[in-house]
Structure 1
Amino acid sequence: MMNFDATSKMNKEAMDSMLTAASSMTKGFQQIAAEATDYSKKSYEDSAAVVEKLVSAKSLDKAIEIQTDYAKSSYESFVAQATKMSEIYADLAKQAYKPFEAAAAKVSA
């Protein structure tokens, strides 16, 4: 009977750890989706603004300047977003691993 209680308690702790990890992952994926949506929306708006500027450009030199500025700012924005997303993914992995880390510490102790 004692072994059954210990096994039951261990199974409950494992299930709690899995549910906590799943909850953390769900929150992380929601944050990733929100960030991706916001970035896509901003990128589209920026592109539309550049097209309007290009249409109203009076000379080829001005159009090239507008396009060059857009390419530079678009690249910088992409790098910043990629860095932010990688930090979110790293945090997601850390949060999802925490419950299992605590369980592993109990087992090794």
Structure 2
Amino acid sequence: MMNNFNEIQKMSKDSMDMAMESFGSMSKGFQAIAAEVADYQKKSFEEGTAAVEKLVASKSIDTAFEAQADYVKTSYEGFVGEMTKIGEMVTDLSKDAYKPYEGMIGKFGK
């Protein structure tokens, strides 16, 4: 009876350790994603401000359209690149959060 209690207690401790490790990985991942989004927002704002200045300084309608087209193109490419990067970060976060549980799932599979 006492042996079973010790096993249950050890399993409980192991489960808590895995949960804390997983939580730590998730916390670090979310912080990295938040920092990446903040950096992108800052860069996007700066590029938008520069584009408006360029648009206002345009001497003709053709240069204004060209400035706007350039901004739209670079904004779209930047957005797609950033979303790809964040998607990869989320995938890595999921993998890191799952790692502590791999050993336990293997035990139950046997």
TM > 0.5 fold call: yes
How many residues are treated as equivalent by the alignment? 109
Q: Structure 1: 5+ residue runs without aligned partners?
A: none
Aligned to 2:105: 104
RMSD: 0.7
1:74-109 deviation line (CA, Å, top 9, x unaligned): 000000000000000000000001111121113334
Aligned to 1:35: 36
Following superposition, which runs of at least 4 residues in structure 1 exceed 4 angstroms of deviation? none
Tell whether 2:41 aligns with 1:66: no
Report percent identity of matched pairs.
51
Aligned to 2:55: 54
Q: Could you tell me which amino acid in structure 2 is paired with residue 70 of structure 1?
A: Y
CA distance in 1, matches of 2:74, 2:51: 11
The correspondence of residues 8-47 of structure 1 with structure 2, limited to 5 A, is 8-47=9-48
CA distance in 2, matches of 1:44, 1:102: 45
Return the TM-score normalized by structure 2.
Answer: 0.96
Return the TM-score normalized by structure 1.
Answer: 0.97
Greater relative contact order (Cα 8 A, min sep 6): structure 1 or 2?
A: 1
SS at match of 1:57: coil
Aligned to 1:81: 82
Q: Could you tell me which amino acid in structure 1 is paired with residue 71 of structure 2?
A: Y
